Each structure stands twice: as structure tokens, then as C-alpha cells.
Amino acid sequence: MNNLDFALIGSRIREVRIDRHLTQEYLANVTDVNVSHISNIETNKVKVSLTLLVAICNAMNVTVDYILGNEYVAPTNAYETELLSTIEKLDATRKDQLLRIAKVL
């Protein structure tokens, strides 16, 4: 697995915060951290924890997957979700067979 791009995550937090006319002070107060910590996250001087990321997203009314950008790839619809769930239950041989069939389609 690749490492997360914390510079991108911090940049997106800053982008959303500014777009929503929120200050670093507001985010700090709502998430119970120092203003300097929010600044350090936005400038990639520290890595944001999962707990704080969720709190920041809730405070800005934005989803975590939006902030993560291309770091997280989720199924886009119910068909993909059901397909992935079905595939997870298959053994390696069946997965290989399914892959070959999918490539033909």
C-alpha cells in the first residue's frame, strides 16, 4: 500500500475551509485543538490523525472521502458494491476465472 499524501489532504482541508469561509480558529475551537495544529496540518508539517480528520470534516460539513481525494477509491454504485462483495467470497481459482471472463467482456 502506498503512503497517504498528507500534503494533498492538508491542502484539501485548507481549500474547503476557505471555500466555506471558515477560519483556522473556528476549526481549532470546534475540534478542540490549537490553531497552530490546524495550520500545521494544512501546511503538511504534521500528519492529521483519523479522529481529528473526522472531526474536521464534520465541522466543515464535508465527507472524509472528499478530503482524501484520490487516496480512497470506493464503489460508485450499488452494482459495484454487490459485485465486490460477491468477489470477496470467491476462492483464488474462481477469482482468476472471473477475471478472465471480465477481460473478454
As separate numbers, helices (DSSP H) first and strands (DSSP E) second, the chain gives 7, 0
Rounded mean pLDDT, 17-34: 97
Q: Where are the alpha helices (DSSP H) in 21-91?
A: 24-31, 35-42, 50-60, 64-68, 78-88
Q: Select the more confidently predicted residue: 55 or 105.
A: 55
Distance CA 53, CA 68 (A): 10
Q: Output 1 or 100, whichever has higher pLDDT.
A: 100
Instruction: State yes or no: pLDDT of 1 exceeds 60.
Output: no
pLDDT tier for residue 44 given thresholds of 50, 70 and 90: very high
Query: What is the per-residue pLDDT across 56-99, written as a single tens digit (0 to 9) for each?
Result: 999 999 999 889 876 666 656 777 778 878 888 888 899 889 88
What is the pTM assigned to this prediction? 0.67
> What's the grid cell of residue 6?
498528507
pLDDT at residue 40 greater than cutoff 70 = yes
